[in-house]
Amino acid sequence: MYIIDREQYADGSLGEPYLIFPTKRTGGGDNEVAIGRLLDIPAQDDSPPFFVMRKSRTDHVAEVMSVIVTPTRLEGINITDKALKLTDEQVASWEKSWGSSVGRMEMAMAGQSWTKEEKDARTRALTASAPPPQLLFYRPSVKPTEPMFVKLRLAYGR
């Protein structure tokens, strides 16, 4: 799994893309995902155990997070202690190749951020009988070994 952050401005334009996960400071650089494995990003024992979102200028309205899940490591990506600046062309290429036909489902679980099973998943895997996640992304008619690119917009409050 890889996470790219870009600032979004009031006119809809995006800032430079930075790979913010993984880094050596988040999970020791481990970005492997597995069925039933809960992945906190950043983990509670990372240093620091949080990301800071801060407006960089007055027209900075949101952060756009792009999540890539791929069965193989991304070529040319060298994981270090800091966020890695990417090129617009790299991100556009990944989005074009892997971002089409991604569906999204949100469950109606208002007020419940974690289920008991999710809390317990720190020490054991989630099972098929566990409640579904609150937010689910999927790619119909695609092999599970093919990469997926999902964008999430996190808006700043007024």
Whole-angstrom distance, CA of residue 142 vs CA of residue 154: 27
Mapped onto helix, strand or coil, the DSSP state of residue 94 is: helix
Write down the residue that tokens 């996190």 correspond to. 154
pLDDT band for 61, please (50, 70, 90 cuts). Answer: very high
Q: What is the mean pLDDT of residues 98-121?
A: 68
Residues with Cβ within 8 Å of 111's Cβ and at least 6 positions away in sequence, in order, are: none
Domain spans, the chain: 2-102+142-155, 105-138
CA atoms within 13 A on the CB side of 125: 7
Could you tell me which residue, 125 or 32, shows the higher pLDDT?
32
Instruction: Put the strands of the sheet holding 148-155 in their side by side order.
Output: 84-85, 18-21, 2-9, 60-69, 148-155
Could you tell me which residue, 110 or 89, shows the higher pLDDT?
89
pLDDT at 59 over 90: yes
Q: What percent of the chain has pLDDT over 70?
A: 82
120-141 burial: b if 16+ Cβ within 10 Å, else e = ebeeeebeeeeeeebeeeebee
